[in-house]
Amino acid sequence: MGAFWKNLARLIAAPVILLALSLPALTADHSIKSAYRLTFTSIAVTKGDFAEKYDLAIKPITFPTGIEINEALLTGSVDVGEVGIAPLATLLTRTSDVVAVGVTDIGGGRYKTVVRKESPYKSMDDLLGKKVAIKVGSGNYAAFLTYIKSRGWKESDFQIVNAGDQEAIAALTEGSVDGVIYWEPIVSTLIAKGIARPIFSFKGVVNNPTFLVMPRKFVENERETAIRFIAAYMDTQELLSTDVPAAAKLVVKGMSASGQKVDPKVIELAIPSVDYKIEMGSQVIADEKATWQLLKDTGKLRGDEPDWSVAFDGSLIEAAKKLRGE
């Protein structure tokens, strides 16, 4: 009987304690539902304490890639997400209810091709006709399309295996694919585990930005929260640019929470492969337009050209800069 009452008490106490634990998040003046995925920026902003400074609570919801984040942004089930250059083109083709508010990072260096360590492949040419894991529709995929176009190859010259982040890691680990074309820190994780070696980097091939995207309604209704998030994000970018070892520690923490043990040394080498700059300059917007045209030309997209004039909103960045005291 005693055990029964004790258990009953525990049963009642559990939700109360849970509620209490979640109180800081609820009581923070501003909270934002953020799409969490395995990128340096997303991990660092979520696992670090950048948001606290702005009295902001980040509620992370995990997604494998930007493709899935697109759907969450469309339905308004997240307030912000990191979306690559290609998924943004897709999203803007279907809706004008979202807006790009900043750039997470820029540069083709975050995309690499890795193969199994013991395999004979040395270049992209060796992978022709082989099984390659890639996320179809991602910014990475757009980089891949750009590259094979420049080489005069077709998509069907490879056996494309459409894979999410964890699937791509598992596929190469198990040896069910010959190569993985992915972004950081997925590729570095495979290298750090001693499974893979890199054979190709998309640095110089493309200079693709990845975007911070929000539902237009969120920007209109909770502008203050949006600005605070961007301010915290800029702090994160600063850390990634200036204190690589500290940033790497956060990334390792994030990766291990996803079940991937990584050597910080490998991450430290990978972090500087791109530039962490929030600005959406004219070149960034031109890149986005070019990617839209590329996907349209390859028959992947249906629908009219987006209204580019409302697709980007740099005003939040300016407000965030003020908040940061610049």
Partner 1 sequence: MSEIQIHRAGEARSPSAEFAAGFGHKALGGLRFISPILIVLALWEFSSRAGLVNAVLLPPPSAIFRNMGRLFQSDTGFWNSPLVGHIEVSLMRLLAGYGMAAVLCTALGLLMGINRRVYAFFDPIVTVIMPIPSLAWVPIVILWLGMSNATIIFVVFLTAMFPIIYNSAAGVRSISKKHLWAAELMGASRQKIFFKVLLPGAMPYVITGHILAVSLAWRALVGAEMLAGAGLGLGYMIFDARTFMDTETVYAGIMVIAVLGLLIEKGVFRPLQRFTIERWGTVRAG
Using CB under 8 A, list all residues that contact partner 1: 67, 70-71, 74-75, 90-91, 93-95, 131, 136-137, 156, 159-162, 170-171, 174, 176-177, 295, 300-302
Cβ 163 to partner 1, closest distance in Å?
9
Cβ 188 to partner 1, closest distance in Å?
24
Cα 187 from chain centroid (whole Å): 14
Cβ 149 to partner 1, closest distance in Å?
18
Please list the residues that pair with 100 across neighbouring strands: 213, 312
CB atoms within 10 A of CB 84: 31
Look at strands 81-83 and 209-215 and give their pairing. Answer: antiparallel
Q: What is the DSSP string of 12-77?
A: HHHHHHHHHHHHHHHHSSEEEEEEE-SSHHHHHHHHSSTTGGGTEEEEEEE-SSHHHHHHHHHHTS
Query: Which pair of structure tokens corresponds to residue 167?
Result: 């699937």
Cβ 23 to partner 1, closest distance in Å?
34
- Residue 93 or 113: the one with the smaller Cβ distance to partner 1 is 93
Tell me which residue of 9, 19, 184, 210 sits closest to 101, measured CA to CA.
210
Cβ 318 to partner 1, closest distance in Å?
31
Cβ 95 to partner 1, closest distance in Å?
6
- Residue 131 or 324: the one with the smaller Cβ distance to partner 1 is 131
- Residue 7 or 176: the one with the smaller Cβ distance to partner 1 is 176
- Residue 62 or 176: the one with the smaller Cβ distance to partner 1 is 176
Q: Are 60 and 259 within 8 A, CB to CB?
A: no
- Residue 94 or 203: the one with the smaller Cβ distance to partner 1 is 94
Query: Which pair of structure tokens corresponds to residue 184?
Result: 């950081």
d(CA 260, CA 267): 13
